[in-house]
Homo-oligomer: A and B are copies of this chain.
């Protein structure tokens, strides 16, 4: 019962990032601004439905947002959320870095 909710949420975000196709989608959205699932699927070797599913995973993880414009749905990167996650990871890894350095120091100089 001690497993923090943060872990589950963080895991979801990283899992969303843990797919080459989704990283490609993010990169495309990051440079073009916004696009529909159909348009994003064109240069990729997968169907439109597969891309739509990937986009849904990214949206569930809070990494992209979608807005409906008449007939089509436009997806765009939520760069703020992404940077926020990245900075959290930096903080955690830095903390471990210091912690481990501290453990090493104590081991050498008890």
Contacts and interface: CB of A to CB of B under 8 A. Distances in A.
Interface of A: 3, 7-8, 10-20, 22-24, 26-27, 30-31, 33, 76-77, 79-80, 82-83, 85-87, 89-90, 92-97, 99-100, 103
When all copies of this chain in the complex are counted, the total is 2
Contacts of A85: 89, 93
A104 to B, nearest CB: 8
5 closest residue pairs by CB, A with B: A15-B18, A30-B96, A14-B17, A86-B89, A79-B97
A16 to B, nearest CB: 7
A100 B79 contact: yes
B30 A100 contact: yes
Contact of A83 (B8, B94, B99): B94
A19 B30 contact: no
